[in-house]
Amino acid sequence: MLERKKGYDIVTEIGGVRTVDAAYDLFGKRLDAEHVRRIRKIENPEVLIKIANAIALCDPKTVFVFTGSEKDRAFVRQLALDQGEEKKLPMKNHTIHYDLKDEQGRIIDRTYYIINEGDKVSSLGQKMLRDQAMKEVKEKMGGIMKGRTMLIGFYIRGPAGAPVSNPALEITSSAYVLHSANILYRSAYDVFDKEVEHCGHFFANIHSEGTNRLEDLPNARVFMDRSWWTTYAMFCTYAGNTLLMKKGNHRFAVDKAVYLSNNQNLSEHMFITGINGPGGRTTWCCGAAPSGCGKTTTAMAGDKFVGDDLAQMWIAEDGAIHAINPECGIFGIVEDVNREGDPHLMDLLRKEKCEVIWSNVLIDEKGVPHWTGNGETPPAKGRNFQGEWHQGMVDAKGKPVPMSHPNSRCTVSASALANYSKENENPKGVVARIFTYSGRDSDTMPPVWVARNSDEGVVIGACIVSAATATEVGASGVKRAPWANAPFTPGPLGDYMDAQFKFYSHPKIAKKHQPILAGLNYFLTHEARGGTGKKLLGEKKDVKAWLAWLERRVHGEVGAIETPIGFLPKYEDLKQLFGDLVKKDYPKDLYDKQFSLYVDNIVARIDLQLDAYGKEQSVPPKFFDIMKKQRADLLKLKEKFGAIVAPDKLAR
Ligand code: SPV
Ligand code: MN
């Protein structure tokens, strides 16, 4: 359950502005004439009151109302340079931003949902009661913008007019944050009132980096108020902690889909990409993967790029699942981005194509960015996320300091990509037919498999596991990563799972638009399949073959081998697709390694999930039924064929 507007709105409680007149009064005192004129163009009372209270809380010296004009965009870029948050690089419109060396990812240990007494939150999230959160916000954010400029931006998460787009305010003292917002989101100053009226709500985000010293980091907080759809972030700069229009508001969109959409919306941590098929058709695919597991690369492997991080879906009147990307840019990890695997993204990074905000990479003496895995010759020295750097450098514990932080990023506009699709601007979205789930799984699941029905597909999503990545500060080991969306799922996972079951089996979905749900895994190693070493069995570019196989499968053009975990591709089909699309041979022995069922591993994985979900509240019984049936059927196979079952044994 989710109760909107329960308890009090913290910023209003602290700021004390409760009427439009009081808001205007405050604007008159705090804004210059031009910005009063700008803010007066906004008429929605709740928006005006929220902004006035943010000003009252943070106490900035000046207030800048961002209209989205070219002139305003230039102002924000310049301010980021003047405030020292970004530095110009020799390549035109490229800048570098550094986050403090101890804030190179999301600070999950200092991130909280603000809740009311009795509210249930996900077992994977931290919560704080409203009164306590108010105390912290007041203490830590009171007067935090003294002597500074507050920037106020109006955006829409998604194309204007789409039924699941959400208007959002970004209020910050960081010009880097607003600059990033201007690349990643659609500015909506002119249509903000209309969009708020259409949706009946807006998301609000208030951030200040404060003094931004290393010693401030213990005081850093990320708060998300589920009842008032407002976020607060302080003493931090990493965009995943500060540009809360991204993952902060994604969490609100997840709540909205799970609790308020009648099972007709989903909000997912998924890319959206179009795959060209025979006869000139395009089939749209959405895919989930935990942060740092190749989601951007998979999106780029498509022929028509829409988005690489977030997807919001709804079942439309035509009986199809439509999807939009709430964003219009990429905040992408650069590690391992290279010519071979990511030619389109490389073009933006290495040629003078568009604005790029680099973060936390190495800048050499000539002002050129470098990062680990770029396939180029590394420089001897330079400056990176932790200061001066040289080849062979080790930290105080003797550990090598990498050239770039593994969570180093680039912020670019998606429209600059050679494979960008204008469908990203279509308020009707794209009709999505393929949904994939993947993780960083070195030893268990095959590169691609398709669920036999939507319920089994939901279970594939529920069972993603992944090696920890650098996107969260302090994370290590192998973790469960349900739907790759659990870090952004505010409510109990059982509620989320129930919403997934109901969405994908919704009677409104027409037969001809029925989607397929599939698992993907790029990370099987030689050592897990009888060889030696941690080298991967596949290559990045193989993704094209897996996606193409799914494209043919959803159109009923390729057969499959039925197994207890779902359908596996047939060798001949893959061989053909590898030859045509990846331009390489696909040997049968590689197929056997990749697609044989390693029964003991899969059963161990099922047991892990049964155990973990057994401890969660309100998990639909269907989940346990499916897992137990798969387990029993796998053990039957083992009895008949042994612990390693080659796909040919199951082919009929
Ligand atoms: C991710 O980590 O999933 C990202 C970047 O997309 S962040 O904004 O940190 O969430
Ligand atoms: Mn993400």
- Supply the residue whose CA is at minimum distance from atom 7 of ligand 1: 240
Residue 62 lies in a domain: yes
pLDDT digits (tens, 9 = 90+) for 40-72: 999 999 999 999 999 999 999 999 999 999 999
- Ligand in closest contact with the CA of 475: 1
Q: Per-residue pLDDT averaged across 272-290, rounded?
A: 97
Query: Is residue 490 domain-shared with residue 505, that is, in the same domain?
Result: yes
Query: For residue 349, which of 336, 334, 364 has the smallest C-alpha distance?
Result: 334
Residue 415 lies in a domain: no
Residue 270 alpha carbon to ligand 2 centre in Å:
8
What residues make up the domain containing 29?
10-81+107-260
- Supply the residue whose CA is at minimum distance from atom 8 of ligand 1: 240
> What pTM value is reported for the model?
0.97
What amino acid is encoded at 315 in this protein?
I
To 10 degrees, the CA torsion angle through 389, 219, 12, 193?
A: 20
Residue 247 alpha carbon to ligand 1 centre in Å:
7
Query: Is residue 218 domain-shared with residue 308, that is, in the same domain?
Result: no
- Ligand in closest contact with the CA of 268: 2
Q: Please, are residues 449 and 520 in contact by the beta-carbon 8 Å criterion? A: no
Query: Is residue 112 domain-shared with residue 207, that is, in the same domain?
Result: yes
Q: In terms of C-beta density within 10 A (0-12 exposed, 13-18 middle, 19 or more buried), how is residue 284 classed?
A: buried
pLDDT digits (tens, 9 = 90+) for 313-327: 999 999 999 999 999
Beta-sheet pairing, 221-225 with 111-115: parallel
Query: Is residue 211 domain-shared with residue 302, that is, in the same domain?
Result: no
Residue 79 alpha carbon to ligand 1 centre in Å:
25
Residue 247 alpha carbon to ligand 2 centre in Å:
7
CA atoms of 227 and 286, how far apart (whole Å): 29
- Supply the residue whose CA is at minimum distance from atom 9 of ligand 1: 240
pLDDT digits (tens, 9 = 90+) for 448-481: 999 999 999 999 999 999 876 556 665 545 688 9
DSSP tag of 313: E
Which DSSP string do the residues of 195-244 spell out, in sequence order?
HHHHHS--EEEEEE-TT--GGGGGG-EEEEETTTTEEEEES---HHHH-T
In the listed set 260, 284, 315, which residue is the last one of a domain according to the structure?
260
Query: Is residue 513 domain-shared with residue 494, that is, in the same domain?
Result: yes
For residue 269, which atom of ligand 1 is closest to its CA? 3
Residue 363 lies in a domain: no
Query: What percent of the chain clears pLDDT 90, i.e. is strictly above it?
Result: 94
For residue 471, which atom of ligand 1 is closest to its CA? 2
Q: Domain of 194: which CATH number? A: 3.40.449.10
Catalytic (active-site) positions: 293
Residue 641 lies in a domain: yes
Residue 417 alpha carbon to ligand 2 centre in Å:
19
pLDDT digits (tens, 9 = 90+) for 143-187: 999 999 999 999 999 999 999 999 999 999 999 999 999 999 999
CA atoms of 272 and 296, how far apart (whole Å): 10
- Predicted local distance difference test score (pLDDT) of residue 540: 87
For residue 239, which atom of ligand 1 is closest to its CA? 8
- Supply the residue whose CA is at minimum distance from atom 3 of ligand 1: 291
Using the predicted structure, report yes or no on whether residue 652 has a pLDDT greater than 90.
no
Residue 555 alpha carbon to ligand 2 centre in Å:
29
Question: In a mutational test of the pocket of ligand 1, which residue from 183, 184, 247, 464 has the highest number of ligand atoms less than 8 Å from its CB?
Answer: 247
Residue 344 lies in a domain: no
Domain count, the chain: 2
Query: Is residue 185 domain-shared with residue 300, that is, in the same domain?
Result: no
pLDDT digits (tens, 9 = 90+) for 490-505: 999 999 999 999 999 9
CA atoms of 364 and 48, how far apart (whole Å): 46
Phi, psi (deg, nearest 5) at residue 599: -60, -45
The residues, ordered by sequence, that sit 6+ positions from 152 with a Cβ below 8 Å of its Cβ are 39, 51, 54, 63, 64, 65, 66, 169, 170, 171
pLDDT digits (tens, 9 = 90+) for 383-436: 999 999 999 999 999 999 999 999 999 999 999 999 999 999 999 999 999 999
> Is 460 strand, coil or helix?
helix
Question: In a mutational test of the pocket of ligand 1, which residue from 99, 103, 104, 106 has the highest number of ligand atoms less than 8 Å from its CB?
Answer: 106
- Supply the residue whose CA is at minimum distance from atom 1 of ligand 1: 291
Work out the pLDDT band at 292, boundaries 50, 70, 90.
confident
Work out the pLDDT band at 617, boundaries 50, 70, 90.
confident
User: Which residues have CB under 6 Å of ligand 1?
Assistant: 106, 239-240, 246-247, 291, 309, 331, 471
In the listed set 260, 280, 303, which residue is the last one of a domain according to the structure?
260
Query: Is residue 178 domain-shared with residue 279, that is, in the same domain?
Result: no
In the listed set 260, 293, 315, which residue is the last one of a domain according to the structure?
260
Q: Please, are residues 80 and 176 in contact by the beta-carbon 8 Å criterion? A: yes
Phi, psi (deg, nearest 5) at residue 399: -85, 135
126: tokens are: 């931290």
Mean pLDDT, the chain, rounded, equals 96
- Ligand in closest contact with the CA of 181: 1
For residue 291, which atom of ligand 1 is closest to its CA? 3
Query: Is residue 18 domain-shared with residue 150, that is, in the same domain?
Result: yes
Query: Is residue 428 domain-shared with residue 293, that is, in the same domain?
Result: yes
Query: For residue 302, which of 316, 287, 322 has the smallest C-alpha distance?
Result: 287
Residue 373 lies in a domain: no
- Predicted local distance difference test score (pLDDT) of residue 252: 98
What amino acid is encoded at 206 in this protein?
I
Query: Is residue 477 domain-shared with residue 623, that is, in the same domain?
Result: yes
Query: Is residue 485 domain-shared with residue 513, that is, in the same domain?
Result: yes
CA atoms of 134 and 210, how far apart (whole Å): 18
- Ligand in closest contact with the CA of 310: 2
Q: Domain of 323: which CATH number? A: 3.90.228.20
> Is 415 strand, coil or helix?
helix
Residue 367 lies in a domain: no
Residue 130 alpha carbon to ligand 1 centre in Å:
26
- Supply the residue whose CA is at minimum distance from atom 4 of ligand 1: 291
pLDDT digits (tens, 9 = 90+) for 193-211: 999 999 999 999 999 999 9
CA atoms of 100 and 141, how far apart (whole Å): 20
Query: Is residue 289 domain-shared with residue 318, that is, in the same domain?
Result: yes
Residues with CB under 5 A from ligand 2 (ion): 291, 309
Residue 175 lies in a domain: yes
Phi, psi (deg, nearest 5) at residue 270: -135, 145
- Predicted local distance difference test score (pLDDT) of residue 470: 59
- Supply the residue whose CA is at minimum distance from atom 2 of ligand 1: 291
Beta-sheet pairing, 149-157 with 62-65: parallel
Q: Per-residue pLDDT averaged across 122-128, rounded?
A: 91
